[in-house]
Amino acid sequence: MSKKIQSALVSVFSKEGLEPIVNELHQLGVKIYSTGGTHKFIEKLGIPVTAVEDVTSYPSILDGRVKTLHPKVFGGILARREEGHLAELGEYEIPEIDLVIVDLYPFEETVASTDDEATIIEKIDIGGISLIRAAAKNYKDILVVPSRDEYEGLLELLKEKQGETTLEERRKLALKSFAISSNYDIAIYNYFNDGSHEAFKRSLHQSRTLRYGENPHQTGKFYGNLEDMFTKISGKALSFNNLVDIDAAVAVMREFKEDAPTFAILKHTNTCGLATRPTLLEAWQDALAGDSISAFGGILISNKSIDPQTAEAIDKIFYEVLIAPGFSRDAMSTLMRKKKRVLLKINHFDVQEKSFKSILNGVIEQDTDLKTETSEDLKVVTEKAPTASEITDLLFANKCAKHLKSNTIALVKNCQIIGMGCGQTSRVDALKQAIVKAKAFKFDLQDAVMASDAFFPFPDCVEIAHEAGITAVIQPGGSIKDQLSIDACNERGMSMVMTGIRHFKH
């Protein structure tokens, strides 16, 4: 059913983009009601506007906390356009309102910018959220614009249809209104919740439809603001699997973001190549050398801006996505020759403090594993202590193992991953896989180090590692049989350190 807008209530925080709307409303002969700063803004434009206070006969009180909360405002919004309700409006001299335009106080932005509780509390919108909900409830008669993000669409509608709206248009904006109000309430809840109230409440109101999910027969969507984290320079639309791999890549490179030039190559969320070197080109070459076969179609990530020489080397292989803090002009010129390859400039390496996923008939949530061990966390448990260079490699290997699927073993030499075994049902199988991969790519395992994501329940991994030439081991410890592996190291002249921190990844 078509409705023509004859009156509008405008009460917004942000005035940006509002001027052409009120001008158009004026041109259409719409009577405008407004409050506070919005009223002053419209008056300065020279457009007739009626103050809400003149309708209610009550001033704005309590430092502006109460302006629109009055039956003469909400009656005109909630009244159904039928005989009984219209008669009541007439009896109590309540004006009908056909359009409600609101832009809420920026609560989430305020929380992000200050810790001052008084400032945050004052940015909890009461009147605005009430106007949105009331107008959305009565969408059969009212058009509601719940955010400045909808200004452009409203202006287009006003110009093209001269203030006429359809039921479908009103219902669509009602849906957006309840999405905004629910997100707003969840943000406030999460601010107040110190963990004492156990309920899972998350709200991400930005979304994009993906080509498909993990497989073509599955649908997929991403909820969130990717533009906050990345600037997309070129390439095709990101897929579900791209996003999962990119998430893993960012988590890995976060470990090395302040280090010397480092490059990582990932495939199906696992790191198959990783190296730190004096130059980015060397880091790329040695990361690729770790497993040049798995690198095909992989996700590449660097902690430094891509220079022309490195770009030329990267361009020789097929990859899905390349992520870096920046790209030189010549590097972009080289890399953009292949139109489908995705180039992402990463704005920051921040990750969420909580991670969660749906399982069974619910959701599990946990603290994100943000623990990165340093030399101070290492406890030498063998007669022989690792050398300074071995400690460097052990910490490097530990970071690698942390981001590989369990059970996992990472073999490292000179800050380069030279073998990895992951996703295995036994730690022995993971080690054997790592050794096979290292030998397949012609690496010398003599004096390499080994990292495990969890403890060794038996000495078999130490025995196998020694036979391969590995001289130092890092593991969390914690098995009731830790001493068996320690004794095996001592008998073979190997060093072992324990961290006390397990890094399972499923």
Where does 36-166 have alpha helices with state H?
36-44, 52-56, 71-78, 83-91, 107-113, 117-122, 127-137, 151-161
Residue 39 among the catalytic residues: no
Active-site residue, from 123, 268, 432, 439? 268
Which residues touch 285 (CB under 8 Å, ≥6 apart)? 275, 313
Q: How far is CA 423 from CA 21, 268, 410, 460, 475, in A?
A: 58, 11, 12, 19, 17
Q: Which residue has the tokens 């499923």?
A: 506
AA identity, residue 325: P
For residues 7 and 29, the answer to whether their CB atoms sit within 8 Å is: no
Burial class of residue 14 in the structure, from the number of CB atoms within 10 Å of its CB (0-12 exposed, 13-18 middle, 19+ buried): middle
Is residue 85 part of the annotated active site? The answer reads no
Q: How many helices (H) and strands (E) does the chain have?
A: 19, 23
CA 153 to chain centre: 27
- Asked if residue 165 lies in contact with residue 5, where contact means CB atoms within 8 angstroms, the answer is yes
Helix ranges (DSSP H) in 319-449: 329-335, 388-402, 427-440
Catalytic-labelled residue, pool 123, 137, 232, 439 = 137
CB 267 within 8 A of CB 298: yes
What does the alpha-carbon distance between residue 32 and residue 26 come to, in Å, rounded to a whole number?
8
Catalytic residue positions, numbered: 137, 268
